[in-house]
Homo-oligomer: A and B are copies of this chain.
Amino acid sequence: MPRKVLIVEDDQNIAELLRMYLEKEGFITRMAPDGNIALTEFSKSQPDLVLLDLMLPGRDGWEVCSEIRKNSTVPIIMITAKGETFDKVQGLEMGADDYIAKPFEMKEVMARIHAVMRRYGHSTGAARRLTYDKLVIDMESFELVVDGKRTDVPPKELELLFHLASSPNRVFTRNQLLDDVWGFDYFGDSRTVDVHIKRLREKLEGVSTRWTLKTVWGVGYKFELGESDEKSAI
């Protein structure tokens, strides 16, 4: 079941960025550019999690937080402006579950959202581990097990492989991969992907005949899986 996230943020750019990332991971989002709208929107949409900027026009984040807390136990993650000091104890007292300081890494934001959701027992359902013939991609231990041997793989490579292998046989263009793995805000040469694919292939070549990192000429790349094989994810 998809989970709703209410994004309370007045900075349009940041709000939009958050929205894109969250929707990419399967969340449904609601937006609120100020405190009053946040409260209205909150009671209307009953989200499963709230991302709350502290600096807001109208009622500020603290007020919004304490209003929400008056009749809900929904997890709240606070976002503090750059340089602004955040009093963790006050945050706790107000009922925040976690906080993130701007400027933030989207990876960090997603990790915290997943952590909070997990804590509250809403499974976010994202598989952290993929297993194929002689291949285990484990994002929890952040390692690759190839043919029974642990293999060290740099983060970008591992994330790229994980992403491809999460949707076997689906072709991704280089730009999709840059968006998905590097992030929406990444601007770089799409040839970069080629190099990472090459590095992955070195580590994976000759291991199994059941799957392969395949080039789709003129389009992009895919993790190709033999028909009889099933994906197993934990």
User: Measuring CB to CB, which residues of chain A are less than 8 angstroms from any residue of chain B?
Assistant: 88-89, 92, 108, 111, 140-143, 148, 150, 154-155, 169-171, 173, 175, 184-187, 216-219, 222, 224, 227
Knowing A88-B185, A185-B92, the reply to whether A141 touches B155 (Cβ < 8 A) is: no
Q: In whole Å, how far is A227's beta carbon from the nearest beta carbon of chain B?
A: 7
Contact in complex: A170, B88 (CB < 8 Å):
no
Contact in complex: B141, A171 (CB < 8 Å):
yes
The 3 residue pairs across chains A and B that have the minimum distance between CB atoms: A88-B185, A155-B218, A141-B169
From B89, B169, B170, B222, give the contact of A185 (CB < 8 A). B89
Cα distance A5–B171 in the bound complex, in angstroms:
26
A-B contacts, 10 of them at CB < 8 A, read A92-B184, A108-B173, A140-B169, A141-B169, A141-B170, A141-B222, A142-B171, A142-B216, A142-B222, A154-B217
Nearest-neighbor residue (CB-CB) of A183 within chain B: B88
Contact in complex: B140, A217 (CB < 8 Å):
no
Which B residues touch A186, using CB under 8 A?
88
Give this chain's copy count: 2
Knowing A142-B222, A222-B142, A227-B150, the reply to whether A187 touches B88 (Cβ < 8 A) is: yes
Cα distance A61–B143 in the bound complex, in angstroms:
36
Which B residues touch A171, using CB under 8 A?
140-142
Contact in complex: B88, A219 (CB < 8 Å):
no
Contact in complex: A219, B155 (CB < 8 Å):
yes
Q: In whole Å, how far is A97's beta carbon from the nearest beta carbon of chain B?
A: 10
- Known contacts A142-B171, A143-B169; 6 additional CB pairs below 8 A are A111-B173, A141-B169, A141-B222, A142-B216, A142-B222, A155-B217
Cα distance A217–B157 in the bound complex, in angstroms:
12
Q: In whole Å, how far is A216's beta carbon from the nearest beta carbon of chain B?
A: 5
Cα distance A170–B140 in the bound complex, in angstroms:
6
Q: In whole Å, how far is A96's beta carbon from the nearest beta carbon of chain B?
A: 10
Q: In whole Å, how far is A101's beta carbon from the nearest beta carbon of chain B?
A: 10
Contact in complex: A154, B88 (CB < 8 Å):
no
Which B residues touch A224, using CB under 8 A?
141
